[in-house]
Structure 1
Amino acid sequence: MTTQQPPSRPRVALVFGGRSSEHAVSCATAAGVLSAIDRDAFDVIPIGVTKDGRWVAVEANLDALALNAGHTPEVAPSESEVVLPLNTRSRALSAVRAGVPPEPLGDVDVVFPLLHGPFGEDGTVQGLLELADMPYVGSGVLASALMMDKHFMKVAFAGAGLPIGPYEVVTDRDWVRDPGAACARVARLGFPLFVKPARAGSSVGISRVVDADGLTEAIEAARVHDPKVVVEAAIFGREIECGVLGSRGTDPHRASELGEIAVTSGGHQFYDFEAKYLDESDVRLSCPADLPADAAVRMREMAVDAFEAAGCEGLARVDFFYTTDGEIVVNEINTMPGFTPTSMYPMLWAATGLSYTGLITELLELALTRRVGLR
C-alpha cells in the first residue's frame, strides 16, 4: 500500500533589516510577522540584511528583533551570506562562505520583503527579485520607486487629479549652490512647515519648523537621511489613514475602514518616530474614524484611486488630511507600511474584520498567484 505524502507547503523567505535608517523598524516588523504567520500553511526562512547590505540566514529570535525604548534590534553579520539565483531556472537559495563550497538552503516559493525605506522599499530589492524570477509580496519596481520619493509621488498624484498640499523640493544641487535662496523659496509656503527627507519613512528625519530661523537646521537634519528634501506647508485638520489590499485579477481593490491617529501625551508635536515605535501608549487609533458618511465614502474611494494611480500591488497605506473646511487632501502612500501587530495598517484591517494572521496569509497567497516580470 502506498502512503500518500501530504502536499508541501509554500516556502516563504522573510527578508528584513536593510541599509536604510529604518533598519530597526524592519526588524520589529519581522518579529511581528514571525510571531503570527500560519506555520501550518507556510514554511518560513528568515533572512536578515545587515546595515552594509549583506544577506544572512538568521534565527527566528523574537526577543532579539523587538524594538522598544530599551532595545534597538540589528541584523548581525555572519561568515556566510545568502545569495539568490539571478536566472529563471532556479529558485534555490545558497549560503556562501570564503573557501567553502556553497551550501544549498533549498527552494523558495515567495519572498516577503519586510524592508522599509531606501534599498528595500524603493524598487531596488524588487528589481533584484524580478531578475531572480522570484514571486514577492507588494508593489513592483516602478510603483515602489515612485512612492518612495515624496517629490515624484506628489507629481503622480497631481497628474491623476488627486488633491495634494503645497510643497517645495530642495535638491542637493539647490542646497550646495545657494542654501539661502532655497530657504527663501520654501519660506514663501508660510509657517509652520514640515521638512522631510524625500526618500525616508517612519517619520525619520522630519522636523516641524515654526519660523525662518529653524529652516537651515531642519533641512540639514533631513539631509542626514537624504540629499533631496521635501518641504510641505502645514495643513490644519485631522490625519486619517486607509489600508488598501490589492485584488486578484480584475477584482476591485479593497479599502479598509478609516482610522484616525491621536497622539495623546508625551509632548509629541506630531506623529513622529518615538510616538510610532517607542511611546505606543501615547497613541490612540480611532477606527472607524468619526467622519461624515459622504466624506468617509469619498476617502475610501480616493485611497483606491491613489493605489491605482501609483500602480501599486499587494498592499499600501494611504494617508490623508481632512481639513477644518471639510476638504480631503492626499498626503502620501506607503507601499510597505509599518507591519507590526500594533502598526496602523494591520490594525485597520483587524478593525475591518481581517486578522493579522489572515492578512499575512492573504498577501502571500496574492503574491503566489501573481506572475513575475512584465504584467
Structure 2
Amino acid sequence: MTPAPSPKPIRVGLIFGGASGEHAIAIRSAITVAGALREGANAHRYAVSCFYIDRRGRWWGPDLADAVLAQGTPASEEQLATGGDRGGFQGFPPHALAMEVWFPVLHGPNGEDGTIQGLFSLMQVPFVGSGVLGSAVGMDKQAMKAAFAAAGLPQVPYACVSEAQLKRDPEGLLDRLEGDLGYPCFVKPANLGSSVGISKATDRASLRAGLLAAVQLDPRVVVEQGVTARELECAVRGGGPSPLSASVLGEILFDADWYDYDTKYSEGKSHTVIPAQVPAAIADQARRMALQACEAVNASGLARVDFFYAEASGSLWINEINTLPGFTSQSMYPMLWAATGVPLPTLVDALIQGAREWQSSPPDGGASV
C-alpha cells in the first residue's frame, strides 16, 4: 500500500521589529519564537518565513530578517541600504502574500495597537493574537482602564490626562492630581509598553517633569496613585472556538525602587518566582480577574494580565493587560505557561492552530480557570 503523503507544512510569516520604542525587545522576542517554531515536531509542521519591519515602518523579507535575528540587534543603516530584498511597505516583500498565517511579534505602537491586525484582517489571513478592537483597547491605557471600570474590576485610583489639559491649565491640573492621588504617583504615556516613558513623581516638581516628558511621547497620559504592593502576573491563551484559560501566577521581584525599563530588561536586576507564593484564594481570584480582563477589552489568542497585591490588606487590583506580551528569555508569558505544563514549542503551536481556527469560527465567550 502506498503511504499517504505527508501534509505540506503550514506557511507561517513571523513578523517582528516595528516602528516603536520597543523595536529591540521585539527582536529578542522573535528570536525565541522562531527557535520554538523550528524545534522538534514544529519544524515539520511549519515552514517559517521571517519578515522585518524597520524603525521607519518599512517591510523587509527573509534575507534581512534572518540576518537581524542572527545578530540580535536592529538593522544598521548599511544593512538597510544594501538589503537584498529591497523591501518596503510600498510593496510587500517577496513571499509575504504566500503566508497562510501570521505570527506578529511587534510590541508597542504600530504593531500591538490594532494597526497591523487591521491589515491582516483586510487581507483575510489569520494571525496570532487579538483583533483590532482588543488590540487597540488593550494598548491604550485610558481606554483599557475605562473598560476595566465598566466590568467592575478593581483598580488603584487614577486620573486620565491630556496634553491639551496640561497646556491649558498646568497649575490647576497639578492641584487636582495632588488632591486626588497624592504622592508618590506614577505618570504613564497611554500607548507605550515595557515601562517606556513611565516616571515616578514624589513631589510637584517631579510630577510636572513627568507629565511634560510623557506628553512628548503620547498626548494621552494616565497618572496612577502609588501603592505598596507585590507585582503578580498571569498568562492567558485561547478564545474563539476554544475557551480562554489562565496560567499559574508569577511574581516579579526586583532590586530597584520600581520596575522600570532598565530593571525589566537588564540581566540580574530582577527575577521571577513561579508559582507566586500567595494564598490559594488570591491566586484563584487573580486568574478569574485575568479572564474577565480579556473579556472586558475583547482580547483573544494570548495576553498577560498584571496585578498589584497588597499583602497587608489582602487587596488585589488589576494593573494592565498586554495583548502581545514579550517572548524574551526573561519574559513571564512563556515561563508562566511552561510552569503550567505547556512548554514553549507546544505553546506557539497552540497559538498558531488557535489563530487558524478563529478565522472560521466565531467566539463563544467561554472561559476556564
TM-score by length of 1: 0.88
Provide the alpha-carbon RMSD of the alignment.
2.2
Question: Partners of 1:146 and 1:36 in 2: how far apart?
Answer: 29
The alpha carbon displacement at 1:178 in A equals 2.1
For each residue in 1:68-103, what CA deviation from the matched residue of structure 2 results, as whole angstroms up to 9, or x when unmatched? xxxx5347534622669xxxxxxxx953xxxxxxx5
Query: 3-state SS of the aligned residue for 1:125?
Result: helix
Query: 3-state SS of the aligned residue for 1:165?
Result: coil
Alignment pair present for 1:310 and 2:297: yes
- In structure 2, the CA distance between the partners of 1:136 and 1:313, relative to structure 1 (3 Å rule), is same
Q: 1:43 aligns with which of 37, 43, 47?
A: 47
- In structure 2, the CA distance between the partners of 1:220 and 1:156, relative to structure 1 (3 Å rule), is same
> Hey, what does 1:366 align to over in structure 2?
354
The alpha carbon displacement at 1:2 in A equals 7.6
Unaligned runs of 5+ in 2: 364-369
Q: Could you say which structure has the higher helix fraction?
A: 2
Identity %: 44
Alignment pair present for 1:27 and 2:27: yes
The alpha carbon displacement at 1:309 in A equals 1.5
Question: Partners of 2:360 and 2:168 in 1: how far apart?
Answer: 43
> Hey, what does 2:12 align to over in structure 1?
12
Alignment pair present for 1:349 and 2:340: no
Question: Partners of 1:151 and 1:44 in 2: how far apart?
Answer: 36
Q: 1:56 aligns with which of 40, 55, 60?
A: 60
The alpha carbon displacement at 1:63 in A equals 5.9
Question: Partners of 2:332 and 2:69 in 1: how far apart?
Answer: 22
Question: Partners of 1:373 and 1:230 in 2: how far apart?
Answer: 36
**1:16 counterpart letter in structure 2:** F
The answer to whether the 8 Å contact 1:133/1:373 transfers is: no
The answer to whether the 8 Å contact 1:205/1:225 transfers is: yes
Q: 1:241 aligns with which of 212, 217, 233?
A: 233
Listed as ranges, the matches of 1:267-306 within 5 Å are: 268-277=256-265, 279-306=266-293
**2:205 counterpart letter in structure 1:** D
**1:211 counterpart letter in structure 2:** D
For each residue in 1:160-217, what CA deviation from the matched residue of structure 2 results, as whole angstroms up to 9, or x when unmatched? 1111111111112112222222222222211001111110000001111111111121
For each residue in 1:51-73, what CA deviation from the matched residue of structure 2 results, as whole angstroms up to 9, or x when unmatched? 1111111342476553xxxxx53
> Hey, what does 2:203 align to over in structure 1?
211
Q: 2:244 aligns with which of 253, 259, 282?
A: 253
Listed as ranges, the matches of 1:42-191 within 5 Å are: 42-57=46-61, 58-61=64-67, 64-66=70-72, 72-74=73-75, 77=80, 78=83, 80-81=86-87, 94-95=92-93, 107-188=98-179, 189-191=181-183
Query: 3-state SS of the aligned residue for 2:339?
Result: helix
Question: Partners of 2:322 and 2:27 in 1: how far apart?
Answer: 17
> Hey, what does 1:320 align to over in structure 2?
307
**2:74 counterpart letter in structure 1:** P
Question: Partners of 1:113 and 1:191 in 2: how far apart?
Answer: 38
**1:284 counterpart letter in structure 2:** H
Question: Partners of 1:104 and 1:337 in 2: how far apart?
Answer: 27
The answer to whether the 8 Å contact 2:104/2:127 transfers is: yes
> Hey, what does 1:99 align to over in structure 2?
none
TM-score by length of 2: 0.89
Q: 2:189 aligns with which of 175, 184, 197?
A: 197
For each residue in 1:210-235, what CA deviation from the matched residue of structure 2 results, as whole angstroms up to 9, or x when unmatched? 11111121112222321211110012
- How many residue pairs match? The answer is 350
